Amino acid sequence: MIRISTIFIAICMVLVAASLGLVLYSMAGVSGTESAIVALTALTFLILYNAVSMRLRDRTDVGSQIADLSRGTADLARQVAEFGRRLAAVEGRVTSANSIGADRIQAVVGEINELGGLVKQLAASVATHDDQLSSGALIAAAPANNAESGGQHELPPPGAEIGTMAATAAPAAIIAEPAASPSQAQVLAAVKSAIEENRLDLYLQPMVSLPQRKVRFYEAVTRMRDGRDQIITADDFVGIAEAAGLIGRIDHMVMLRCVQVLRRLMVRNKEVGVFCNVAAATLAHPATFAQCLDFLEANRALAPSFVLEFKQATFRNLGPTETEHLAALAQRGFRFSMDHVTDLRIEPRELADRGVRFIKVPAALLLDQRQSSASDIHPSDLSDLLGRFGIDLIAERIEGERAVVDLLDYDVRFGQGFLFAPPRPLRPEGASATGGAPASKGQDAKIQNSFKEDSSKTPDRAPDSNGTGKTASIDAPAIDTPRISGVAALARRIAGPG
């Protein structure tokens, strides 16, 4: 595009040439043709002069620009060379640091391997001492047992594992020959009498986190007392009560007491939970289940901490009625647990859809090597598989430290068994600290009413199962595990499977 200055210069050159021609024509007496030629000649010279001057000026400008560009290129080359030198220095330092780090890692690995060998030797030594101490304790207890039993009973083999709590709490009288078991008619009569006279006792057994052994849940275990205050376990009366149609009333009473106990426990620990066993007959009977559902609906706020427990056979034999009842409970926020597991053929997706959040498997079943071939998944991978569907695996019936160490390798996070604490009965508020005599009918009524009192009171305490008169809080049962066993388990855990 032509600049304005160029147009102005062209106009000026034309005016100068025209003025020169006009002067020659008017003053010098030159003819018009000659003056026009002179004017054109002057205009031509002016145009040539302007073109040459502009070219020289442009050349000067371009030369200065080229010089600036050369200086910039030289500066850029200098900077690139400086960056190259710095990069080479950094690469040299990194190579040197890597070589030094590799040497240090090799030295540390050598030290760790040496320490591993020492730890394995220490673990083997501690395990040997533990076995010797256990064998010595059994041998020391042999004379007393033989003296009371008249030499008619043999000692268990030295290598057999015995639950710590059972071994310390069992008196010599238990070794004597058991009395004849009562008939079904007698048990049925005792069950009816116990229901009518409220001789239904609740025992709590803790479930602890592994390996911390912190109490996280309690399982409510039902016991009955006959007219002579003899204890009847659930295994003895559940089948008979189901056949007689009484299990629904028992489950309803147990739910009532479990909720009362849970309310008292949550005063001190909001994270604690209670597992309550429910029979399949209760789930299948519409009228009985309706009563339980109404009660649970009224206590819906406790649903996150109140877990209903059913057998594995119950989940495998669900009918339309049972499925509908389970869905009603799950809709109200209650979670389920599955126990009495007899094999590891488990469908976690289906159980999770039904609301199962806990599965209790016996420790012996998990550690049985034959289960790896009989089931679809190896027992060591069961915890991870269940965890993908939001189900926690609980190992129950743990009776030895060796089992705990093996279960930790299986990534089991919860455990239950006599090793941690046996089921402990709830102590009546009006009973003495020794708790030697069983409660009477009036005391049973007082127990039931005491659960309805102000929840700010201290939770119930249960007498120790060995009858020594010591009491243990239901929210923190004592764990009477020998110190040497814990050290041995820790040493075996560090040493690993090798």
Same-domain status, 220 and 349: yes
Last residue of a domain, one of 20, 54, 80: 80
Last residue of a domain, one of 52, 80, 108: 80
Number of H helices and E strands in the chain, helices first, is 17, 12
Q: With contact defined as beta carbons under 8 Å apart, do 158 and 132 qualify?
A: no
Looking at residue 480, its pLDDT comes to 39
Same-domain status, 76 and 206: no
Looking at residue 306, its pLDDT comes to 96
d(CA 209, CA 412): 9
264 domain residue, yes or no: yes
Q: How far is CA 380 from CA 344, 349, 407, 412, 481, in A?
A: 11, 18, 8, 9, 26
Q: Are strands 231-233 and 215-225 parallel, antiparallel or unpaired?
A: antiparallel
178 domain residue, yes or no: no
Same-domain status, 190 and 52: no
Last residue of a domain, one of 56, 80, 104: 80
Through-space distance between the first and last CA atoms of the chain, rounded to whole angstroms: 90
Q: What is the largest CA-CA distance in the chain?
A: 171
127 domain residue, yes or no: no
Looking at residue 107, its pLDDT comes to 87
* Residue with the two structure tokens 């007393």: 144
- The H or E element spanning position 296 is helix 286-298
153 domain residue, yes or no: no
Alpha helix positions (H), 429-468: 441-450
* Residue with the two structure tokens 């149609």: 245
Looking at residue 456, its pLDDT comes to 35
Q: With contact defined as beta carbons under 8 Å apart, do 356 and 339 qualify?
A: no
SS3 at position 472: strand
Domain holding 364, by residue range, is: 162-168+184-471
Looking at residue 494, its pLDDT comes to 55
Model pTM score: 0.53
- The residues, ordered by sequence, that sit 6+ positions from 391 with a Cβ below 8 Å of its Cβ are 348, 351, 352, 356, 357, 358, 359
Same-domain status, 73 and 190: no
Same-domain status, 75 and 188: no
Tokens for 123, please give them: 């673990």
What stretches in the chain show pLDDT beneath 70? 1-2, 137-182, 372-374, 427-498
105 domain residue, yes or no: no
Which of the 8 DSSP states describes residue 419?
A: T
Please name every residue paired with 277 in a beta bridge, in sequence order, or none if there are none.
309
Looking at residue 141, its pLDDT comes to 52
Same-domain status, 265 and 402: yes
324 domain residue, yes or no: yes
CATH classification of the domain holding 353: 3.20.20.450
Q: With contact defined as beta carbons under 8 Å apart, do 424 and 167 qualify?
A: no
Q: With contact defined as beta carbons under 8 Å apart, do 90 and 97 qualify?
A: no
* Residue with the two structure tokens 């003053």: 27
Q: With contact defined as beta carbons under 8 Å apart, do 419 and 400 qualify?
A: yes
Same-domain status, 188 and 55: no
* Cis preceding linkage at 211, omega within 30: yes
- The residues, ordered by sequence, that sit 6+ positions from 159 with a Cβ below 8 Å of its Cβ are 131, 135
Domain count, the chain: 2
Alpha helix positions (H), 150-170: 164-169
Same-domain status, 197 and 75: no
128 domain residue, yes or no: no
Dump the DSSP string for 50-87: HHHHHHHHHHHHHHHHHHHHHHHHHHHHHHHHHHHHHH
356 domain residue, yes or no: yes
